[in-house]
Structure 1
């Protein structure tokens, strides 16, 4: 059964940006850095983190850049390379070594691919959920069904994006992406992260940087280049079979092509009866797969 134990919280500065974070497990354990996505928060890892702690890891889940209580970055950078640089900087601050593991969902998955590819010496194994590697996204994105699912990406490019991002709209995304999941608490936590209009603009900024390379800062160039690199650390990719955000049908029609965009010795697996937030919908199943992949902490 999943342990839902209280998580400690704190603040830390990494690469000049103050991050809020949740944590569980022994400070002496190998780092397990858990990165959340949109529209979500660090609380999304509340089922997995106690299991990581029980396995001997020091689990840390930061609130991503621009998500309160994490600060708004002064450089205004929200490109995937910046998210990857954050992950690697947090590895440094928390004293991570080469036995650290990296786990990411949604935008956190994109950050995990780039962080592990740009600094493989920092990470032993990687787990990503719900967003496949860049090469697979480019192949599957422009199908008619996927374009319908991805309407919100194009909404984010417009001046109306912040006005549209009401609690009701966010709840609608959760319902579409993970039908049947009781998401009221998660929606409320995301809205708390949008503490000011600047925080909302930060969350929208991830999507604007996604489609507008003029927003990319050269200081994150190495990490940004790594977003399209296959990397070298073995990666477990998990995807909900009923994901309403990124359809499993297009992704898993050619599983060999999907795994071909992952590092050597990686795996891609479907999780049945789960949508986009599979780690919340089927926590016991997802936790088991994650722990089987990374193994107990070495020490």
Structure 2
């Protein structure tokens, strides 16, 4: 088990090493492809900052939430409207290290949890299955909200976090005030996952197939291989993000969680139909098979340089969003949208809150 005191020092919760900055112009690409479906209250303008302006969170906490003891960062006024920011793989809460203070300064209470298997989030019981199917992670968010007595929040995420936020919005819309979804609609269609993609797309997903093998599992269980594999993914999926070693190492500390390998391997094997879920989640997975629509106000963000996107016009998933909606392209930005473009991401949050 991770020692939280030494872990806190490891992720740089004091004066962190300086992170590289890219141009402010690359940080504010918010051209709207579709516009909002209806006018709302005017949103404040988020000030432009260079990515890497902040390197550390000043307030890390823990809370018991159902099967987990969840570690999370918090910023902003205690009684402000709540935003929950959800990271992806292979990332951690530092994807939002610049976004959180921007939203806090705008009056929001910002909660940034480590997903199961990451950082200081741990399982309460050694006997709980290390399950990473999509509904289990979504239920972690509901449990966190219940534990913190948060009835309703804006949810914003990318990668695993975007999928998770979309599932919460689809299954529990009464808990979601608005949604910011990088890459749009990512709820997993297990049946469709059986079909091959075009070869170039399959190549981009190389690690998913690697993790389907014992060789890939062993790589994730081996510290140096895990570190180097995740660094390679960062380089490949964010081709213009000139982050420094210190930026990656702050996040890589979260990969030292003893359940990290098990959670990552199960997530990708489950998506390919190579690992079973748990029957107790069937009641949540069954509605997701039908690809439920999302009715809450939503801003979808497509990073123009994200290699996982077939297109960036949002037309492929537009039908799944039936509430107030806007689509934006993040020009010059790769997969890790909030860390590469924090101003644009934070602006999307405050705009979505007012759709």
TM-score (norm 1): 0.88
Q: Show CA shifts across 1:23-58 (max 9, x none).
A: 101111222111111001111111111122122221
State the partner residue of 1:148. 203
State the partner residue of 1:194. 255
- Asked if structure 2 preserves the Cα contact closer than 8 Å seen for 1:37 and 1:108, the reply is yes
Q: Show CA shifts across 1:202-255 (max 9, x none).
A: 2222112222375211222343235431222122111210112x13xx2336x4
| 1:178–1:226 Cα change, 3 Å | farther
Query: Over alpha carbons, which structure has the higher Rg?
Result: 2
- Out of 259, 281, 285, the position equivalent to 2:344 is 285
Greater displacement, 194-203 / 86-95:
194-203
Q: CA RMSD in A?
A: 2.6
Higher-helix-fraction structure = 1
2: CA distance, partners of 1:282 / 1:261: 25
Q: Show CA shifts across 1:47-99 (max 9, x none).
A: 1111221222211111001113111472222100001101111111122123x
1: CA distance, partners of 2:294 / 2:342: 27
Structure 2 residue runs without a partner (length 5+): 1-47
| Mapped pair 1:91 → 2:145 | yes
Count of aligned positions: 291
Structure 1 residue runs without a partner (length 5+): none
State the partner residue of 1:162. 217
State the partner residue of 1:82. 136
Aligned 1:223-262 pairs, distance under 5 A = 223-227=284-288, 228-244=291-307, 246-247=308-309, 250-252=310-312, 255-262=314-321
2: CA distance, partners of 1:208 / 1:136: 14
2: CA distance, partners of 1:20 / 1:117: 25
SS in 1 for 2:179: strand
| 1:187–1:223 Cα change, 3 Å | farther
Which has the bigger relative contact order, CA under 8 A and spacing at least 6? 2
